[in-house]
Chain A
Amino acid sequence: MNIEPTKLDKAVLLKVTGRMDAENAHEFEQACEQWISQGTRHLIAELEGLEYVSSMGLRSFLSVAKKLQSSSGSLILCGLHGLPRQVFEMTRLIGVFPVYESAQQAIAGL
């Protein structure tokens, strides 16, 4: 898994590519926590290049979203497709997160 951050006006965009599994999901959580500790309120996870996510990844997404919610912020997802989208739909997490087709749409929605 690779995480590439871009600082925007109102948010930080994290482009996540590869596979998020039990071995590395904590890296995503740590990357998000760094930005949150610097005062970032909105994180946009761009998941176009995410090929795989297991329950440990879902746990990280939920944990980050809960932290952001407690400071009136949000974790926004975009570009979900393939197995990750199937997993978010099966677990009905698709209705828990703000989900957009593209990063542009997510940014416009802030």
Chain B
Amino acid sequence: MDRFARLTLPASLNSLKALLDFAHAGAERAGLSPEQRNQLDLVLEELVVNVARYAYQPGNGDVELAYAVDGPGALLIEISDKGRSFNPLESSDPGLSDSLADRPTGGLGLFLVRRMAGPITYRRDHDRNTVSFRFPSPQSLEP
């Protein structure tokens, strides 16, 4: 039996709240703290926004969020879409200059995902992009 709970919705900003609410049920079952839940929201928002903006022609596809409780205090998360092939791990880091004039306004979303979620895996199979990670990352629990 599939141990993942799954929700598929249109890949749009309008789906964001329902997807986060769905993930909150998993966060509660895994016993994540309110602070960790907030961090998880951030990672999920950035990944869903990325799919909504870049995976499809506007209004043309779905995003699936899946989670499984991976022992006490941890969730396995998978986000997938059937849009164009895109590996978020390959996007370059934005410049992090201290000078306002030199800072681009964008490009921070996937950077935050990589920093906040810890180790992430990406796979492309059957015309599907899937990003998966364990939250909180095992690394963040180390002293």
Contacts and interface: CB of A to CB of B under 8 A. Distances in A.
A92 B98 contact: yes
B121 interface: no
Nearest to B49: A22
Interface in B84-110: 96-101, 103, 105-106, 108-109
A96 B103 contact: yes
A87 B105 contact: no
Interface residues of A, number: 26
A93 B112 CA distance: 12
Nearest to B39: A83
A19 B141 CA distance: 26
Contacts of A82: 35, 38
Contacts of B16: 21-23
A62 B105 contact: yes
B115 interface: yes
B108 to A, nearest CB: 4
Interface in B68-98: 96-98
Nearest to B41: A52
B30 interface: no
A69 interface: yes
A98 to B, nearest CB: 10
B13 to A, nearest CB: 6
A82 B3 CA distance: 33
Contact of A90 (B98, B100, B112): B112
Interface string B28-42: 000000010011011
Given A58-B108, A62-B105, 12 more contacts: A23-B17, A52-B42, A54-B45, A54-B46, A54-B49, A54-B112, A55-B49, A66-B105, A83-B39, A83-B42, A91-B111, A91-B112
Interface of A: 21-23, 51-52, 54-56, 58-59, 62-63, 65-66, 69, 82-83, 86-87, 90-93, 95-97
Interface of B: 13, 16-17, 35, 38-39, 41-42, 45-46, 49, 96-101, 103, 105-106, 108-109, 111-112, 115-116
